[in-house]
Structure 1
Amino acid sequence: GVLLGTCAALAPGGARWTRKTVLVIEWLTIVAGVRQLFSGSIISLAGMAIAGIIVLAYSSAEGKEWFTV
């Protein structure tokens, strides 16, 4: 949580390492959500959806461009 908070604070400035860090954490969140689905936790779909939206935003052309400046 602290690491994501730090990334959120530094992302508007375009700090390069924040993009990769956020992508790794969000992919881990998606994987953990899939694992939770197998144990019957439907609520994990919400977290997976949010993580997916973040991954899409950070992987878009605009997202890549923002962090290369």
Structure 2
Amino acid sequence: MEETLEDALACFDNLSAEQKDKAWEDFEAMDLDGDGTITLIEYQQFYYGSSYRIPFQELNTNRDGKLFLGI
């Protein structure tokens, strides 16, 4: 599962500036309470009805129930 996070970060590094901006916009849109992290509930609400998403537990490698992108 740690490989999934590493893969995601490597993918982010290879994005164009425009794509990175969109990724940050999505992160901020998911962060409903503005605390700089994404909980499982925030993640599920953002992707509700979407068939494309990485399972939350694969991204939450430290098992603290929150995602933080310190990129």
What is the TM-score when the length of structure 1 is the normalising length? 0.35
Larger relative helix fraction: 1
* Larger Cα-atom Rg: 1
Larger relative strand fraction: 2
What is the TM-score when the length of structure 2 is the normalising length? 0.34
